[in-house]
Each structure stands twice: as structure tokens, then as C-alpha cells.
Amino acid sequence: MIQLYNTLTKKKEPFKPLKDGVAGLYTCGPTVYDLAHIGNFRAYVFEDLLHRYLEYSGFKVLRVMNITDVDDKTIKGSQAEGKSLTEYTDRYISAFIEDMEQLRLKKPDYLPRATEHIPEMVSIIKKLLEKGYAYRKDDSIYFSISKFPSYGKLASIDLSEIKPGVRVDVDEYEKEDVRDFALWKEEKENVFWDTELGRGRPGWHIECSAMSMKYLGESFDIHTGGVDNIFPHHENEIAQSEAATGKKFVNYWLHCSHLLVNNEKMSKSKGNFHTLRDLLNKGHNPIAIRYLLLSTHYRDPLNFTDKSLVQAENTVKNYNAFYQAMDFCKTEKEDNSIRPAIEKARKVFTEGLNEDLNISLALSGIFNLIKTANIALTDGAIGVKEAADIKSFLEEIDSVLAILDTEKTELTEEERNLITERGSARKDKNFKKADEIRDKLKAKKIILEDTPYGTRWKRT
Ligand code: AMP
Ligand code: ZN
């Protein structure tokens, strides 16, 4: 049974979806005024782990990630470049999707754009006006938080702080600032929709209520984001959705801690960020970046340093070398330690991830298996069958981790024999012959690398 830490109840709870076997998952997506930085990607990698592990555990996942393509920043950016909002945001949406692919993030079932869901937002706002939860001020419409008694339940905000009628209508919010928030903003910067509510544009929070409920229903299972989303964004989503429908909006709220730099949140405004492209242009491996973001528990802070990236790079390289070394286990011998070690690794992997995605525990099981296998490997004791079992176990869990390099094309029989022959020559200290074979393979565009886990090859 998967246990998840729920920000709403402040405790770990067993995950039980509303509909047997199906998990409805909503993740707050990017505001597309610029490239996402790897701090943002910490949140998306955590959500990817959750998505993949739910699938590994047998759930069908229905996932929505919104694209915020209208807000103060996108409007300002498009106007500065003299472009339409769509033209401006399209570029960043494509870049975001490319970055997601580089980090092997699963594509959500729906990636809805806010600007394509204005009627759905209008309909919720109309309901809130009818029910008396919303009011007009000039040509804008606000949600009255004093009308919603359980306001503050997610972020544990003290209700005595609520000052009725104090409004905020910018898209960015100071933490702990409890005010009525804008559902609909009057026409200002020449970006508007003509609707039953008048000319204007939606506030940020209403976007996520409209898009999540459209695709997942008025009540659904899991809603995620970074901890900075808890207040006011998610608190406001709960208030306006539950006020409109009279139903519980979301059962499980999950939030990841921030990616830090020198112990400060990585953010655009602080200027202490790296985009994924910056790091790739410097020659870093996207899978190592994925691993770095993945391998710390999502609720623990993670401090980004160059050293941690180099370490992640080495781990991913060694992990893949070990995986490939399994191709060179030729003997028919059997080592009795391998199968129990695989079973143990699988057990620890699931026990760890079942425990609120405890990735460190899950990975420790795998590294113990590798340690056991390496001991057997140096003795030449892993047989063909056991090597195949190890490979298929690593492939199985790679549906969750997605760090294996499985794209290599298989070797031909002749090439495989040459590599084995070279291994024997090296063992016999016949380095002349070993080098000749290495050159022969090089001519076939196969490069060899001798690692502590055996000889690794790649095609150039
Ligand atoms: P934004 O585009 O600012 O709305 O952020 C998109 C997602 O990234 C949200 O879920 C944020 O909570 C998350 N986020 C932003 N900065 C960080 C960070 N430094 N570490 C982890 N998550 C972050
Ligand atoms: Zn959101």
C-alpha cells in the first residue's frame, strides 16, 4: 500500500483513489514567459516519480498539467517584444516540452492552456457570484475569503488574520498575506476576453480550478506542486472550487521542497538559477540532472552544487556500465547469491517508494544488489541466466527511475566474440593482441572502455 504525506492532514496516509485502480493527478505547470529552471524541474521530476511509481504499482494514471499562458509576466514579455501572447508563449511551451523529453518526464495526458479554457473559468466565477462567494469591484471580480469558513485549512493560516474586503489582484503574492483574491481582472493591458462577466482576463488561481475539474472531475485524487504553491495558490484553489461545487476538491495534496543554491531557493527573481539548456550546453548529461533531482527525498531540501552534479554523473555512468557489463557474462555457472539479491532489491525498492516515495531507501536496495553482483562478477561467477535476470530487473525498475541507457544497438555475433577474445587476451597479459582487437573494433566504430564493472562499449 502506498503511503503519501498529505499537506492537508499533515500526516502520511494510505493512498486510496476515488475510483478503484485509477489515480487522477493534477500538477501545476509552468508559466511560459521564459525557460523553466532546474528548480522548477525539481518539482516536475518529483511529479514524474509519483506518476511512474503509481503506474508501476498497477494504477492507471490520468494526469493533467496546466500551462499558464496568460498572467502579468507573459503579457509584459509579449508586449516588450511586440508579439501576440500566443506567438510569445508558443516558443516557451515548445522549449518546455523539449526539456521534459530531455529529462525523460512522462507526458501528461492533458497539457491544457489557460487561454483555451476561458469559458470554463467564466462558468465557475458565475457560480461563485450566484452563491454569494464573489463580488464585483469596478470591473474586476474577487473571491471573499471571509465567506468561506474553512479558508486556511491547507496552509494552516490563522483565520483571525483575515481582514474582510482587503484585496490583492496581482499575479504574484507575498506569503502570509491573507486577502480577497481576484477571480477576474478588468481589461487593462489590452489583453482581454469578451465574456458574460465583461471584458477582462482570469486571475491565476481560477485557471487551475477550471482545468483540473474539467479533466479530472469536481473531486479528484492528487494535486501537487512545490511548497511555494501551498499558499496562496492552492489554498485559493480549494476555496473557490469547494465554494462553487459544494464538494471536496482534492483528497491528497503533495508538495516538494525547493531546490536551493547556497541554501536559498533557486528562482528567477534571485538570479541564482540554471536552465536545463545552460547545463546541457556546458556538456552535462540530462540523465545525470534527472538523477540528481530524483535521488533526494522530495520533501527534503536539496542544495544544488557543481560537485553534486559531478557525483550524479558518476553514479549514472557506473550504473549504466554495470547494466552493460551483464552482456559479457558468458558462463553457464550459477551463483546462488544473485536471485535472492534481486528479490531483496525489489522488496526494498517497493518498501521505500511505498513509504511516501522514500527514494533513498529504494535506491539503497539496488546499490546493494550491484555490490553483491560485482563481487560475483570479479570472480566470473555470474552466469548468462542470472545476468539476464539482473538486466530485466534493472529494466523493470527503470519504468520508474528512467536512468538507463538502453538505446544502444546490439552487437553482432562477430563483434561480441571479438570483445570476449580481447578480454581473454588481457587476462593472459597479451596486450599486443588486446590492442589489435581494440583497433579492429574501432575501425567498426565501436569504442571500448574498461571499467571496474567490466568492459563497456558504445558505437560512435
Ligand atoms: P512557476 O513557473 O514559478 O509557477 O513554478 C512552476 C513549479 O515549479 C511550481 O510547482 C513551483 O512550486 C516549482 N518551483 C519553483 N521554484 C522551485 C525550486 N527552486 N525548487 C523546487 N520547485 C520549484
Ligand atoms: Zn496551479
Read off the pLDDT of residues 1-37 as tens digits, 9 standing for 90 and up: 999 999 999 999 999 999 999 999 999 999 999 999 9
pLDDT score of 33: 96
d(CA 113, CA 67): 5
Q: Is 293 in the pocket of ligand 1 (CB under 6 A)?
A: no
Q: Which residues contact 60 (CB under 8 A, 6 or more apart)?
A: 21, 22, 23
pLDDT score of 11: 98
Q: Is 32 in the pocket of ligand 1 (CB under 6 A)?
A: no
Task: Read off the pLDDT of residues 269-322 as tens digits, 9 standing for 90 and up.
Answer: 899 999 999 999 999 999 999 999 999 999 999 999 999 999 999 999 999 999
Identify any residues that bridge with 25 across adjacent strands, giving them in sequence order. 63, 222
d(CA 95, CA 225): 20
Amino acid in position 188: K
- Residue located via cell numbers 587476451: 425
Residue 98 neighbours by CB distance under 10 Å: 12
Using CA positions, which residue lies closest to atom 7 of ligand 1? 40
Calculate ∠ Cα 312-313-314, nearest 5°: 90
Q: Is 226 in the pocket of ligand 1 (CB under 6 A)?
A: yes
pLDDT score of 29: 97
Q: Is 42 in the pocket of ligand 1 (CB under 6 A)?
A: yes
CA distances 343 to 141, 156, 368, 394, Å, are 58, 43, 11, 12
Are 414 and 356 a contacting pair, CB within 8 Å? no
> Which positions of the chain have pLDDT values less than 70?
161-162, 173-177, 407-410, 451-454
CA of 163 to the centre of ligand 2 (A): 24
Q: Is 372 in the pocket of ligand 1 (CB under 6 A)?
A: no
- Which string of DSSP letters, residue by residue, matches 72-112? HHHHHHHHHTT--HHHHHHHHHHHHHHHHHHTTPPPPSB--
Question: CA torsion, points 16, 19, 25, 26, in degrees to nearest 10?
Answer: -120
Which residue in 322, 349, 345, 282 sits closest to 405, CA to CA? 322
Residue 161 neighbours by CB distance under 10 Å: 11
Across the chain, mean pLDDT equals: 92
DSSP element (H, E) containing 224: strand 220-226
- Looking at ligand 1, which atom is closest to the CA of residue 27? 10
- Residue located via cell numbers 536539496: 302
pLDDT score of 229: 95
Amino acid in position 183: L
Q: Is 266 in the pocket of ligand 1 (CB under 6 A)?
A: yes
Q: Which residues contact 284 (CB under 8 A, 6 or more apart)?
A: 309, 313
Q: Is 210 in the pocket of ligand 1 (CB under 6 A)?
A: no
DSSP state letter for 244:
H
Ligand with an atom nearest the CA of residue 112: 2
pLDDT score of 451: 67
pLDDT score of 378: 77
Region label for 168, one of left (φ > 0), alpha (ψ between -120 and 50) or beta (otherwise): beta
17-269 CATH pick, 3.40.50.620, 3.40.50.300, 3.40.50.11540, 3.50.50.60: 3.40.50.620
pLDDT score of 419: 87
pLDDT score of 209: 98
CA of 122 to the centre of ligand 2 (A): 17
Q: Is 78 in the pocket of ligand 1 (CB under 6 A)?
A: no
CA of 260 to the centre of ligand 1 (A): 11
Q: Is 112 in the pocket of ligand 1 (CB under 6 A)?
A: no
Ligand with an atom nearest the CA of residue 65: 2
Question: CA torsion, points 135, 136, 137, 140, in degrees to nearest 10?
Answer: 120
Q: Phi and psi for 23 in degrees, rounded to 5?
A: -110, 120
pLDDT score of 169: 77
CA of 39 to the centre of ligand 1 (A): 6
Length of the chain: 460
